[in-house]
Structure 1
Amino acid sequence: MRKQLLSIFTLLIPIITFAQEQTTSEKIDAVFSEYTGWFVEGIFYEIPFSETFQIPWVLIVLIGGALFFTIYFKFINITGFSKAIQVVRGKYEDIEKHGAEELYGADGIAMSDEGDIVDTIRDESADGEVSHFQALTAALSATVGLGNIAGVAVALSIGGPGATFWMIVAGLLGMASKFAECTLGVKYRDVGPDGTVYGGPMYYLKKGLKEKGLGGLGKVLAVVFAIFVIGGSFGGGNMFQANQAAAQFVQLFDIESANAGMFFGIGMAVLVAVVIIGGIKRIASVTEKIVPFMAGIYVLAALIILGANFTLIDDAFGLIFEGAFSGLGIAGGLIGVMIQGIRRGAFSNEAGVGSAAIAHSAVRTKYPASEGIVALLEPFVDTVVICTMTALVIIITNFESSFMEYGTPITEGVELTATAFDTVIPHFSIVLTIAVILFAFSTMISWSYYGMQGWKFLFGKGRITDLVYKFLFLMFVIVGASISLGSVIDFSDAMIFAMVVPNIIGVILLSPKIKKELKKYNKAISKKHNALEDGATDVNNL
């Protein structure tokens, strides 16, 4: 490990030297904008349905897919909620590890048609590297964070309180998308000789579509997705996080140095390097501690503020519902409010993007649908709960438009949310700064794993290949901390939303496979329940 750290730190020296020679972050931002502007414009090109009615085409794909999954899987986002809680708590761990066939009688174990997830005669336990809870926290660490803090503020500044309603809608619909893509992530994963798991949309697009006689299309979509997930790991999963963490750090300590962000980025890069060398196991061990702790502190602070202003909560919801369907006085009117809410909600929970399927594919289970069920909790926790709480805090503390005027886009997200919290809890911005940095840190290490999987899919599995990717990832940590929010957030959105297209196409085509896996898992659960009713011993209690 020490040799690997030394190699990465040695590679960072030229970057540090280069960064020190830059005169201002504005120059970096200008160059970055010049080279990425065309891509951003293409991804967010708006289809003009009328003179006043325009919608980005990628949002149509995203929401259309979420609606399809919700209906096709019979509102799994609602009917599967309680089961998801039970799975995370380990109620069905025995059948997921050994298979209902081994414990409670004959039952078809959900496995890849090509035998990619195989049992061994020596060990009847399931393949995988992490538990359901670790997979959930690893994936949540990539979503719960700055999108909930900074992204909500950005959405409200442009779309007003009504944007909150559409964020909630995006979260509820996204639960079905997460279920579908994460089920496929486990079903079509590859397991190396050493037990290392390689999974995600790249694999289910290539192998799943090949089974349907669409091998050529599958390969193309897989390669396109791999390219975008690498870009997404550098953008939304890296630069956006470093940018907002650096902004909050600099503001809190009132640092005036033009190079403060760059030096913050260097420090963050060193810390990220220490963790990402260990792969998904170390990432999961870190995120399962950071995410619940920091999310708990953030939610507790929000609850304190809402409790202190509980008489205003109904008024806040009134503004949310009124603004959701009127959009009066807000940039873009009703459609503008809807687009901002859905865009921010999707950016926050990443449902339909396919990124979470990479983390969830590493879970230990024989039933792919079991992890799909767990995954549907993500958008609920991330968007329906945490984003809504952030929005309520901002709306309630801004009733007199004391620090933000709706309809006027802001250039800072974290700072505005910190202002809202400080109005009730003095100096909470200090705690929020720590939360932002830790959220950014956990998001970056999870997205480094996502990008690495795409990188390996394109360039092969090997030590040198890994080091090249990690070097580039750490470089973008420094770049992200050194440039302005405008370029970062545009590029971040574009790369992450670009992943939606190949992913949604593939998941829709593979939906019958997902339904089959869900049926097998439900059958296994029923077999366990029936066996227990007949007097069998629950293995989980042994």
Structure 2
Amino acid sequence: MKSIQLLLISVLLPIFAVAQETSETLDARINENFRNATSWFTDAIFAEIPITDEVGIPWVLIVLILGASYFTIYFKLINIRGFFTAIKVVKGDYDNLETNHHVEVSESVHTTASNDNPDTIRVEGEAGEVSHFQALTAALSATVGLGNIAGVAIALSIGGPGATFWMILVGFLGMASKFVECTLGVKYREVDENGVIFGGPMYYLSKGLSEKGMKRFGKFLAVVFAIMCIGGSFGGGNMFQVNQAFQLFQYVTGGEESLFYGKGWLFGFIMATFVGIVIIGGIKKIAKVTDKVVPLMVATYVIAILIILGINYQSIPAAFGEIFNGAFSYKGVAGGFIGVMIQGFKRAAFSNEAGIGSSSIAHSAVKTKYAASEGLVALLEPFIDTVVVCTMTALVLIITGQIAVGTEVTFEQGAILTSNALESGISWFPYVLTIAVILFAFSSMISWSYYGHQAWSYLFGRSKKAEYIYKTIFCVFVIIGAAASLQAVVDFADAMVFSMLVPNMIGLYLLAPKVKQELQRYRKAIKQKETINN
């Protein structure tokens, strides 16, 4: 392991000179050339359907909303009905269904070899690498981030407090999409001879649609998804994260007087070193980090928010009044759907990524025999990410008066607005936020590296050589992302993340009946166990 880490660092060191010499002129030249080459794709993905003369909604967001609404209805409000069951699964209340020393031969998962069931491979009677809680934190680490901090400020600056209402609604509907895709991720995952899990949309698109007599179509959709996922992991899941973390770190530590001013390459190298150390260990190492970092960073951020809300508790009812009063105004609707969806979700990979399919890759690694058990766990993601954390951020921004409706706010400015809101309560809170942002960026990068590697292995094989090629490239992009401002590259990567929903949503719609079967199977197992216990 140490030799691999030394090799990785030796590959990254030569990047320093190049990164340090990167100038604004070079950035501008690369941006211009790259934009000219890729603008057709970016424009197509973000093409808007006009609602009024001034307001339009990208077609991809309409697909996400309609899809989430359909799954909410199809699964009879699984967002609500499955909520407390999901909490019980995470707590371990149903672990006895997995470890009853009886190996149940299930058709829910397959290996690459001869369609063997991994339940017959492992003496534990269960396949997988991580617990329900670890899978949840690994997926949350990729979704909880700058969208919760800066994206909310952007949304409210466009649509006012009423945007918060639509943000909550989208988070609620997204719980159903997340349930479907993560159930399928476990159902069609593959397990190699060492017990390593490979899962996600690539597998349920190819194998699930093959079962429905659409083998070639399913394979095509899987390849398209994998290509887009790799691109998204380098851009939105990597370069953007580290760049924004460095910008806020530089701002809080003195701006132009900061010791790190103009030294993004150094910040990037430090981050790349830690990222490289973690991602070399695979999903088990990632999960061991995220199950500690994610609760810590979320708790730190939430505690800071709660203190500000506690100081201004008398203003909370008025803030909720502004949210509901403005929800159905012109600006509220525009801000909710365009501000939150376009700005917030675009810059943080849709915030909760419901419908994109990426989270199902992390959830596929869970130890379980029941695919629907992890689907239920997954629906907690949008609730935590959007309904809870984003709403709390919105309340603080509203109460502290940081939002000026109608002003254009960049992501960097959005993070600063949230920082100023925290500073209004306690002067040193911006430092807490900066640490949280760095942890958010770090956790997002290690999770997206896993997503990208899973897609990479689907296209180029599962050899160690292919694995380390991808991970080395990923770490190089960490340094480039911190040192340069390649906005056109990140825009293109965001477009690739958006495009992941096209093959994924097709698969979710066609395979929804399979998910219903898995849900019925799991509920039956729970009922039988409860009957025996009673």
Q: 1:32 to 1:390 in 2, by over 3 A?
A: farther
TM (norm. structure 2) is 0.93
Q: Deviations over 1:500-542 (max 9, x none)?
A: 1111110110000000000000000001011111xxxxxxxxx
Q: 1:36 to 1:308 in 2, by over 3 A?
A: farther
How far apart, in 1, do the equivalents of 2:284 and 2:95 lie? 19
- SS for the counterpart of 2:57 is strand
1:181-196 map, 5 Å: 181-196=181-196
Deviation at residue 236 of structure 1 after TM alignment: 1.8
Counterpart of 1:82 in structure 2 is 84
How far apart, in 2, do the equivalents of 1:239 and 1:60 lie? 27
Deviation at residue 76 of structure 1 after TM alignment: 0.3
1:392-431 map, 5 Å: 392-398=395-401, 403-411=402-410, 412=412, 413-431=414-432
Q: Does 1:531 align with 2:528?
A: no
Q: Does 1:267 align with 2:264?
A: no
Counterpart of 1:307 in structure 2 is 310
Q: 1:82 to 1:262 in 2, by over 3 A?
A: same
1:441-456 map, 5 Å: 441-456=442-457
Counterpart of 1:162 in structure 2 is 162
- SS for the counterpart of 2:118 is coil
How far apart, in 1, do the equivalents of 2:489 and 2:404 lie? 23
Given that 1:349 and 1:378 are in contact with CA atoms closer than 8 Å, whether structure 2 keeps it comes out as yes
For 1:125, the aligned partner's letter is: G
21-30 vs 130-139, which moves further: 21-30
Counterpart of 1:539 in structure 2 is none
How far apart, in 1, do the equivalents of 2:491 and 2:423 lie? 28
Deviation at residue 493 of structure 1 after TM alignment: 3.5
Given that 2:160 and 2:403 are in contact with CA atoms closer than 8 Å, whether structure 1 keeps it comes out as no
Given that 1:199 and 1:358 are in contact with CA atoms closer than 8 Å, whether structure 2 keeps it comes out as yes
Q: Does 1:297 align with 2:294?
A: no
- SS for the counterpart of 2:193 is coil
Counterpart of 2:71 in structure 1 is 69
Deviation at residue 291 of structure 1 after TM alignment: 0.6
Q: Which of 48, 56, 59 in structure 1 is aligned with 2:58?
A: 56
Q: Does 1:111 align with 2:108?
A: yes
Q: Deviations over 1:292-325 (max 9, x none)?
A: 0111111011111111111211221222223221
How far apart, in 1, do the equivalents of 2:31 and 2:387 lie? 33
Counterpart of 1:334 in structure 2 is 333
Deviation at residue 135 of structure 1 after TM alignment: 0.3
Q: Which of 350, 361, 365 in structure 2 is aligned with 1:362?
A: 365
- SS for the counterpart of 1:47 is strand
For 1:71, the aligned partner's letter is: I
% of aligned pairs identical?
59
For 2:368, the aligned partner's letter is: T
How far apart, in 2, do the equivalents of 1:311 and 1:489 lie? 41
How far apart, in 1, do the equivalents of 2:472 and 2:508 lie? 32
Deviation at residue 30 of structure 1 after TM alignment: 4.6
How far apart, in 2, do the equivalents of 1:215 and 1:78 lie? 35
Q: Deviations over 1:67-89 (max 9, x none)?
A: 11101111100000000000001
How far apart, in 1, do the equivalents of 2:264 and 2:509 lie? 42
How far apart, in 2, do the equivalents of 1:113 and 1:253 lie? 51
How far apart, in 1, do the equivalents of 2:313 and 2:494 lie? 34
Counterpart of 1:201 in structure 2 is 201
Given that 1:44 and 1:494 are in contact with CA atoms closer than 8 Å, whether structure 2 keeps it comes out as yes
Q: 1:326 to 1:220 in 2, by over 3 A?
A: same
Deviation at residue 32 of structure 1 after TM alignment: 5.1
140-149 vs 72-81, which moves further: 140-149
Deviation at residue 339 of structure 1 after TM alignment: 2.1
Q: Deviations over 1:190-219 (max 9, x none)?
A: 000000000000000000000000111101
Counterpart of 1:223 in structure 2 is 223
- SS for the counterpart of 1:363 is coil
Deviation at residue 10 of structure 1 after TM alignment: 2.1
Deviation at residue 349 of structure 1 after TM alignment: 0.5
Deviation at residue 468 of structure 1 after TM alignment: 1.4
- SS for the counterpart of 1:65 is helix
Q: 1:38 to 1:354 in 2, by over 3 A?
A: same
Q: 1:72 to 1:17 in 2, by over 3 A?
A: same
Counterpart of 2:478 in structure 1 is 477
- SS for the counterpart of 1:405 is coil
Q: Deviations over 1:453-486 (max 9, x none)?
A: 0000011111111111112211221222234495
Given that 2:132 and 2:374 are in contact with CA atoms closer than 8 Å, whether structure 1 keeps it comes out as yes
Q: Does 1:6 align with 2:13?
A: no
Q: 1:409 to 1:493 in 2, by over 3 A?
A: farther
How far apart, in 2, do the equivalents of 1:420 and 1:17 lie? 38
Counterpart of 1:276 in structure 2 is 279
Q: 1:259 to 1:496 in 2, by over 3 A?
A: same
Deviation at residue 111 of structure 1 after TM alignment: 2.1
Q: Does 1:388 align with 2:385?
A: no
Given that 2:178 and 2:378 are in contact with CA atoms closer than 8 Å, whether structure 1 keeps it comes out as yes
- SS for the counterpart of 1:119 is helix
How far apart, in 2, do the equivalents of 1:374 and 1:393 lie? 28
How far apart, in 2, do the equivalents of 1:34 and 1:433 lie? 35
Deviation at residue 108 of structure 1 after TM alignment: 7.8
How far apart, in 2, do the equivalents of 1:165 and 1:280 lie? 35
Can you give the 5+ residue segments of structure 2 that lack an aligned partner in the other structure? Answer: none
Q: 1:445 to 1:517 in 2, by over 3 A?
A: same
Q: Does 1:495 align with 2:496?
A: yes
Can you give the 5+ residue segments of structure 1 that lack an aligned partner in the other structure? Answer: 534-542
Q: Deviations over 1:358-391 (max 9, x none)?
A: 0000000000000001000000001000000011
How far apart, in 2, do the equivalents of 1:162 and 1:37 lie? 33
Q: Which of 359, 376, 381 in structure 2 is aligned with 1:378?
A: 381
For 2:356, the aligned partner's letter is: V
Given that 1:110 and 1:521 are in contact with CA atoms closer than 8 Å, whether structure 2 keeps it comes out as no
For 1:443, the aligned partner's letter is: S
Counterpart of 1:432 in structure 2 is 433
For 2:462, the aligned partner's letter is: K
367-376 vs 39-48, which moves further: 39-48
Q: Does 1:42 align with 2:38?
A: no
Deviation at residue 336 of structure 1 after TM alignment: 4.9
Given that 2:19 and 2:484 are in contact with CA atoms closer than 8 Å, whether structure 1 keeps it comes out as no
Compute the RMSD of aligned alpha carbons.
Answer: 2.1
How far apart, in 1, do the equivalents of 2:333 and 2:92 lie? 44
Q: 1:393 to 1:487 in 2, by over 3 A?
A: farther
367-376 vs 54-63, which moves further: 54-63
Q: Deviations over 1:261-303 (max 9, x none)?
A: 2321121111111111000000000000001011111101111
Deviation at residue 255 of structure 1 after TM alignment: 4.2
For 2:73, the aligned partner's letter is: I
